[in-house]
Structure 1
């Protein structure tokens, strides 16, 4: 029984140690245009580079500027890089890119970044406006994404503990049944007569 409990504690310890690694999901490494920068001309596409290959399922990118969302078509993925084409009618001005990408481990990654385009794809021009604040790590959307990554880890740990406890109950029950089925050590009549004669 002591050996089994030791194995239970060891398995729980491994699960707790592995939790930080499991929650270390893919991260956004860079963007083009870079966050809070000014480009001479609005590019035909914005790109996001992640630490690992993201999944196409659930990936969505919005590029909002003076005329609204100018994202054209669905985003495309090439290895670790996600491309989002822009409309040819996109004007100059301030832009905020909002992304939601499914990481390689199946968890969502979301956030925003911003930039300013002096010349739009439609040929229009604009002066530099006030910097558009990008989403900070403590913002609600980022906090929600981190929480959604943490919950599956805790459910996995809870599942491991439950399975081990069920195994402990089954093991103890089988030991008791084996003990009950083992013949007793009471003296048989022949043994009793021999002791009396002795």
Structure 2
């Protein structure tokens, strides 16, 4: 009887260890699948690049990871002189193009956008760039031409370039996070399965003990 109890305890321990091993081995698979899941639309590239310094710009082009719904598109471009858009933006699949004024003033410009992907997910953010060429209509004043010595170039100091993740940070804050709920559910299922197996093993051991055990009391003599 003692040997049967020891055997049942060993079996219980082995089942628990196997269950934990299976759950632990499944965690990397869940994590890999979670990281491979496609996210909602996000900004993947811009022309000019975010934080870039260029001579001048005629248009701003933004490319997203999914096609964009033109009906809910909004793009604003502002600079030293205010609004700088020239007409409505156009959409070609996942690429949005916003024409700009012909002669942009020299300085920093900010592009603010809000788009909705084909799956209905909104994406918003902003991109900045700096131009260094003055408009062609700006002619030098007499005081500038009469200068005895040339003055240092008055090009605008480029703003510090943001980190590579700035475009990603511009995407909507409600992007799907890693589905840890699936991992937790997997763990719960594994533990429940282990508990069921343990219950079955213990019940089987109890049935064996009751079927092999003798009578508890001695028979009485009949008169």
Same fold per superposition (TM over 0.5): yes
Q: Is the 8 A contact 2:126 2:170 kept in 1?
A: no
Q: Is the 8 A contact 1:61 1:98 kept in 2?
A: yes
Structure 1 residues 109, 31: CA separation in 2 closer, same or farther (over 3 Å shift)? same
- What is the CA–CA distance in structure 1 between the aligned matches of 2:188 and 2:47, rounded to whole Å? 49
Q: Does residue 169 of structure 1 match 2:191?
A: yes
> RMSD over aligned Cα, in angstroms?
4.7
Alpha-carbon offset, residue 55 of structure 1: 3.7
Alpha-carbon offset, residue 31 of structure 1: 0.3
Q: Deviations over 1:54-82 (max 9, x none)?
A: 54498654311122233366643313421
Structure 1 residues 104, 149: CA separation in 2 closer, same or farther (over 3 Å shift)? farther
Normalized per residue, the structure richer in strand is 1
Q: Does residue 31 of structure 1 match 2:47?
A: yes
Tell me the TM-score normalised to structure 1 length.
Answer: 0.59
> Partner of 2:143 in structure 1?
none
**Larger displacement relative to structure 2 (91-100 or 8-17):** 91-100
Structure 1 residues 84, 177: CA separation in 2 closer, same or farther (over 3 Å shift)? same
Task: Report the count of equivalent residues.
Answer: 179
- What is the CA–CA distance in structure 2 between the aligned matches of 1:47 and 1:8, rounded to whole Å? 47
- What is the CA–CA distance in structure 2 between the aligned matches of 1:134 and 1:97, rounded to whole Å? 14
Q: Does residue 133 of structure 1 match 2:149?
A: no
Match of 1:53 among 63, 66, 80: 66
- What is the CA–CA distance in structure 1 between the aligned matches of 2:135 and 2:77, rounded to whole Å? 16
- What is the CA–CA distance in structure 1 between the aligned matches of 2:25 and 2:211, rounded to whole Å? 44
Q: Does residue 82 of structure 1 match 2:96?
A: yes
- What is the CA–CA distance in structure 1 between the aligned matches of 2:170 and 2:20, rounded to whole Å? 36
Q: Does residue 118 of structure 1 match 2:134?
A: yes
Q: Could you say which structure has the greater relative contact order, defined with CA pairs below 8 angstroms and 6 or more residues apart? A: 2
